[in-house]
């Protein structure tokens, strides 16, 4: 009768060993996850968390990179909203992008994709042609458009004059500079178009057929079948568009500096040409931070940008519950 | 009995009435003429840029739209006017090293986010998406200060180094693709005695080749295209300028004419468009991948 306790002790050791092995395996797994993620953990901390925290601190200081930051409390924010003559134009310009530029892009990309789905022949060729401008490097596209829309000698105004139309000053006119940038933006909708195209092709045939049987015309089918089916993609393109509009920089910077005809890097004063009409928020932030080296003030601007970016994204995502339909279930 | 079949076949083969056919034909014509008009509008900028690139300077400033004579030497003059090879070398250095960095750091991270289960994974992934959602300008000041303190401003390193520490967009894209690979493949490899690392290397890397190609392509193009980064970190040191920065300064710094500027513009677009035609599938797949889980 001594075997029972022995067996029990044996079972206990086995169980303990197994637990130990399990714990060891768990540690090994944790080690593996940590190892795989370690570059990203460092990158995330150094290039995201640390800058966010430091930005918040610097926004409360006066800092020019050379001397140590000097605490000024909320002075930067107060200056921004009360004294800076350029902040409001910059905010208005960026708002213009959100209200006109982004919806125009989304609508146009959707329209082009819709046209493509109706084509019988040459879909591949047309798709390639519509996608191609999206590949053109931003600086090259902007230079091209400043030339094309050159008021006196550009091909567009020459063509317009043949039609008896006196073309506008485009990039040289405060009224037309943002529409000119919008034309450039519409030219490069290739990526959005591909995403819409993929979504449109995925819309279920049966839904169309049953809608048609119920007597729905083309417009009704668009309203009650197509739009609900692709609403997640509309949401996606809107979010991406709004985020892009908050960091809209290169086109405005290059267009202004080329149009004004001075070196792009030498003079900061030409940013926003003409008459601050292309001075978008990120352009002003760049000017304050890296031309005038008002690092504290630029940080304050960055903090406001952070709040706006988070706010706008949240609002869009929240409101999406009202109009985005996911396949199968209404969320 | 057979007459019924014949009759049925005849009914099936009967063409729709002429009016319906005409309507359908007109609709097809309308659709296609709209497409062709749009295609011409999309191509027109390319055509005018190309035409101007081979004009003389006087022609570029005249109302004539067709070059006469064709001045092909513009393309040679571009290389004489600015150190284009220097810019190209810098661009390759930036884009090449950054792409390697992104692949080396983002593939393992994407694997951990998609195929391994651990506490806090979802929170960490949302944090990663947050990086993607926020404008770069939000964090740019302290990052610049950091590189200034390391005395790296004025070189390409501030552009290259961060890529070796992961890139949120690439991690996101690769994760989306890894999620679609059936777990059975991985299990089969595990049964055969593969450790997790071997599973990643011999199963996922092989199956995810199209996604990895797309990520590499996007990263390379992003760097090739990038203007803000080079402007921020290298603008004071023209020996480190990239093509995009060089092109933006081209017309103004070197006092050159529109015809040469357009020739340079064309030369700058050409590589991207050539690569696109060579790797069209990777592009379209990649773009669609970004939108699938929208």
**What is the secondary structure of B78-119 as a DSSP string?**
HHHHS-HHHHHHHHHHHHHHHHHHHHHHHHHHHHHHHT---T
Q: In 3-state terms, what secondary structure has residue B241?
A: coil
Q: Do A257 and B138 touch (CB under 8 A)?
A: no
Claim to verify: residue B58 and residue B97 sit in the same structural domain: no
B130 and B247 part of one domain? yes
Shared domain for B56 and B132, answered yes or no, is: no
Measured between beta carbons, the chain A residues lying within 8 angstroms of B197 are 32
pLDDT digits (tens, 9 = 90+) for A68-113: 999 999 999 999 999 888 999 999 999 999 999 999 999 999 999 9
Q: How far apart are CA B229 and CA B223, in angstroms?
A: 9
CA distance A237 to chain B (A): 8
Residues A106 and A237 in one domain: yes
Nearest to A98 by CA among A315, A320, A324, A318: A315
Residues A155 and A256 placed together within one structural domain of the fold:
yes
* A212 belongs to a structural domain: yes
Residues B106 and B175 in one domain: yes
Q: Are residues B132 and B235 in the same domain?
A: yes
Task: Answer whether residue A66 is part of any domain.
Answer: no
The answer to whether residues A113 and A37 belong to one domain is: no
Q: Any residues with CB less than 8 A from the CB of A33 and at least 6 apart, and which? A: B112, B116, B118
Range of the domain at B22: 15-74
Residues A25 and A170 in one domain: no
How does pLDDT run across B228-278, given as a tens digit for each residue?
999 999 988 889 999 999 999 887 777 778 889 999 999 999 999 998 888
Q: How many domains does chain A have?
A: 2
| Chain B: residue whose CA lies nearest to A191 | B287
Report the chain A residue with the minimal C-alpha distance to residue B223. A137
- Asked whether the beta carbons of residue B287 and residue A39 sit closer than 8 angstroms, the reply is no
**pLDDT band, very low/low/confident/very high, at A331 (cuts 50, 70, 90):** very low
* Domain membership flag for residue B248: yes
CATH number of the domain enclosing A169: 1.10.3720.10
Closest CA to B173 of B213, B200, B203, B145: B213
Give backbone dihedrals phi and psi of A270, rounded to 5 degrees, phi first. Answer: -80, -5
Count of domains forming chain B: 2
Chain A contact set for B217 (CB, 8 A): none
Residue whose tokens read 């493949």: B185
Domain span at residue A249 reads: 84-323
Q: Do B96 and B232 have their domain in common?
A: yes
d(C-alpha A318, C-alpha A227), whole Å: 19
Say whether the peptide bond before residue A10 is cis (omega within 30 degrees of 0).
no
Please indicate, yes or no, if residue B271 is contained in any of the structural domains. no
DSSP string, B173-240: HHHHHHHTS-HHHHHHHHHTT--HHHHIIIIIHHHTHHHHHHHHHHHHHHHHH--HHHHHHHTT-GGG
Are A168 and A317 within one domain? yes
Which chain A residues are closer than 8 Å to B136 by Cβ? Answer: 247
Interface test with A, best of B82, B103, B137 (most A CBs within 10 A): B137
Instruction: Write down the pTM of the prediction.
Output: 0.87
Most confident of A292-296, A320-324, B174-178, B206-210: A292-296
pLDDT band of residue B22 (cuts 50, 70, 90) is: confident
CATH number, residue B228: 1.10.3720.10
Nearest residue to B210 via CA among B125, B279, B293, B112: B279
Whole-angstrom Cα distance, residue B210 to residue B204?
Answer: 11
Instruction: Say whether residue B40 is in contact with chain A using an 8 A CB cutoff.
Output: no
Looking at the structure, tell me whether residues B108 and B231 fall in a common domain.
yes
Residues A34 and A92 in one domain: no
Q: Are A135 and B272 in contact (CB under 8 A)?
A: yes
| List of residues 6+ apart from A274 with CB closer than 8 A | A171, A172, A173, A174, A177, A259, A260
Q: How many angstroms separate the CA of residue B108 from the nearest CA in chain A?
A: 5
> Considering the domain boundaries, does residue A329 fall inside one?
no
Q: Is B127 on the interface with A (CB under 8 A)?
A: yes
Rounded to whole angstroms, the Cα distance separating B113 from B115 reads 6
Tell me, yes or no, whether B172 and B220 share the same domain.
Answer: yes
Question: Is residue A147 domain-resident?
Answer: yes
Please indicate, yes or no, if residue A265 is contained in any of the structural domains.
yes
Residue B2 lies in a domain: no
Task: Give yes or no: residues B139 and B203 share one domain.
Answer: yes
pLDDT of residue A218: 85
Q: What is the mean pLDDT of residues A198-226?
A: 87
């Amino acid at each position: 009768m001594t075997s029972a306790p022995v067996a029990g002790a044996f079972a206990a050791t086995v169980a303990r060993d197994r637990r130990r092995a399990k714990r060891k395996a768990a540690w090994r797994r944790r080690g593996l996850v940590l190892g795989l993620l370690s570059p990203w953990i460092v990158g995330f901390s150094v290039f995201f968390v640390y800058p966010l925290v430091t930005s918040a601190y610097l926004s409360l200081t006066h800092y020019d990179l050379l001397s140590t930051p000097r605490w000024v409390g909320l002075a930067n924010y107060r200056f921004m909203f009360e004294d800076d003559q350029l902040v409001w134009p910059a905010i208005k310009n960026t708002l213009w992008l959100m209200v006109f530029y982004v919806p125009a892009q989304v609508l146009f990309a959707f329209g082009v994709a819709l046209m493509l789905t109706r084509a019988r022949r040459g879909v591949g060729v047309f798709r390639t042609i519509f996608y191609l401008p999206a590949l053109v490097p931003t600086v090259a596209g902007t230079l091209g458009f400043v030339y094309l829309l050159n008021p006196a000698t550009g091909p567009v105004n020459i063509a317009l004059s043949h039609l008896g139309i006196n073309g506008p000053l485009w990039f040289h006119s405060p009224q037309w500079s943002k529409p000119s940038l919008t034309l450039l933006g519409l030219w490069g909708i290739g990526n959005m178009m591909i995403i819409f195209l993929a979504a449109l092709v995925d819309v279920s045939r049966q839904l169309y057929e049953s809608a048609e049987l119920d007597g729905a015309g083309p417009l009704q089918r668009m309203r009650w079948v197509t739009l609900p089916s692709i609403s997640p993609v509309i949401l996606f393109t809107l979010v991406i568009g709004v985020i892009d509009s908050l960091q809209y920089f290169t086109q405005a910077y290059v267009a202004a500096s080329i149009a004004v005809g001075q070196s792009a890097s030498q003079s900061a004063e030409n940013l926003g040409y003409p008459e601050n009409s292309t001075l978008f928020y990120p352009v002003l932030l760049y000017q304050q931070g890296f031309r005038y080296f008002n690092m504290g003030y630029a940080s304050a601007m960055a903090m406001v940008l952070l709040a706006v970016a988070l706010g706008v994204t949240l609002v869009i995502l929240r409101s999406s519950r009202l109009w985005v339909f996911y396949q199968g279930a209404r969320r | 009995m057979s007459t019924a079949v014949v009759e049925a076949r005849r009914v099936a083969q009967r063409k729709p009435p002429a009016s319906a056919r005409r309507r359908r034909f007109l609709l097809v014509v309308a659709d296609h003429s709209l497409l062709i008009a749009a295609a011409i509008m999309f191509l027109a900028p390319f055509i005018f840029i190309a035409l101007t690139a081979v004009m003389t300077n006087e022609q570029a400033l005249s109302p004539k739209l067709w070059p006469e004579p064709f001045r092909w030497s513009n393309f040679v003059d571009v290389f004489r006017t600015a150190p284009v090879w220097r810019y190209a070398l810098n661009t390759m250095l930036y884009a090449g090293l950054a792409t390697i960095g992104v692949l080396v750091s983002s593939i393992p991270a994407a694997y951990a986010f998609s195929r391994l289960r651990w506490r806090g994974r979802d929170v960490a992934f949302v944090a990663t998406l947050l990086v993607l959602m926020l404008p770069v300008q939000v964090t740019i000041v302290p990052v610049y200060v950091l590189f200034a303190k390391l005395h790296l401003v004025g070189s390409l390193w501030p552009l290259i180094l961060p890529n070796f520490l992961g890139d949120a967009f690439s991690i996101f894209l690769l994760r989306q693709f890894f999620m679609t690979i059936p777990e059975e493949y991985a299990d089969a490899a595990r049964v055969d005695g593969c450790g997790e690392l071997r599973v990643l290397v011999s199963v996922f890397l092989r199956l995810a080749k199209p996604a990895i190609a797309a990520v590499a392509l996007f990263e390379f193009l992003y760097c090739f295209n990038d203007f803000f980064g080079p402007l921020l970190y290298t603008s004071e040191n023209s020996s480190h300028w990239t093509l995009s920065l060089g092109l933006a300064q081209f017309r103004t710094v070197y006092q050159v004419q529109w015809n040469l500027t357009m020739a340079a513009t064309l030369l700058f677009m050409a590589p991207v468009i050539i690569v696109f035609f060579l790797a069209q599938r990777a592009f379209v797949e990649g773009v669609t991948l970004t939108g699938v889980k929208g």
